[in-house]
Amino acid sequence: MSSRPYCAADSGHVREPYVRPSTVGQHPTVVTDGRALPSDTMSNAQTAGPLGGRTALVTGAASGIGAAVARRMAADGATVLAVDRDAEGVKALARDVPGVEPVTCDLSDLDAVDALPAQVDVLVNNAGLQHVAPVHEFDPERFHLILTIMLEAPFRMARRMLPHMYDRGWGRIINISSVHGLRASPFKSAYVTAKHGLEGLSKVIALEGAPHGVTSNCVDPAYVRTPLVEKQIADQARQHGIGEDEVVEKIMLTPVAVKRLVEPDEVAELAAVLYGPASASITGASLTLDGGWTAH
């Protein structure tokens, strides 16, 4: 699925986002690892590869799928804004990967989301969290939080960044959805609702963006070897009263024909197709990486 709670970071108290709303008449300022860059003058030092000269933004980038996608995009020439609530995680990624700029932001803070840079050519909506409980016991505040981070924040980022993409006549929105954007499972009402909503939002953007050279697609993996899935294994074990090994074998891998977890780098490789040379006519699509789950 996606990464860890709140922009793929550990759950806990919300940290103050470093992206601050601007004062009247000024552009928001992005602080990247101690350096201040006005969001409308952000430049791309990378020039080689299919994303040379372009800026990408990846949410949930401190670990798992987000980190794998950020590494792949940087290798393809992009300047990558790696967004996550986990400040140390994105700083570590930036130290290891040239072309990555760390951006600390909690996507549950919608004012901070609205202050993220608008001059983005490729937006990757990846951040997510999971909560496992029957509907009649599901905490409404948790439900609201999951939809805020996984559906409203992607909408707001697309709304903010699409004008720049339209002006340039080129843009790519890649939504890391899930097989749960196409199929439901019990005890995951908020996650399934958010992913189904993201699929619909992606299709609307695809239809609106096509005349402007902008595509919008979803990548739909089955269970991916990420911190979120590791936590989910423990939650499912408690919910069903079984061991964690049984959760993987009897719950997670039962619907799939390929009996293994998906690796984050596999998701990154599929995402690369959606911004690469063959991407112009791929839009409004949901590309599965589900080991045959949806073949049933």
According to DSSP, the residues that pair with 100 across neighbouring strands are 80
Q: Which residue among 6, 191, 223, 275 is the active-site one?
A: 191
Q: In terms of Cα–Cα distance, which of 131, 128, 190 is closest to 153? A: 128
What is the sign of the dihedral through the CA atoms of 151, 143, 14 and 239? negative
Rg (CA), the chain: 18
d(CA 229, CA 284): 27
Note if 191 is an active site residue.
Answer: yes
Q: Which residue carries 């986002």 as its tokens?
A: 17
d(CA 283, CA 213): 10
DSSP type of residue 242: -
d(CA 20, CA 174): 25
Backbone angles phi, psi at 146, to 5 degrees: -65, -45
Residue pair 116/105 in contact by the 8 Å Cβ criterion: yes
What is the sign of the dihedral through the CA atoms of 190, 229, 7 and 126? negative
Name residue 112's amino acid. Answer: A
Task: Name the E strands within 54-157.
Answer: 55-59, 79-84, 100-104, 122-125
Instruction: Determine the 3-state secondary structure of 20 from DSSP.
Output: strand
Residues known to be catalytic: 191
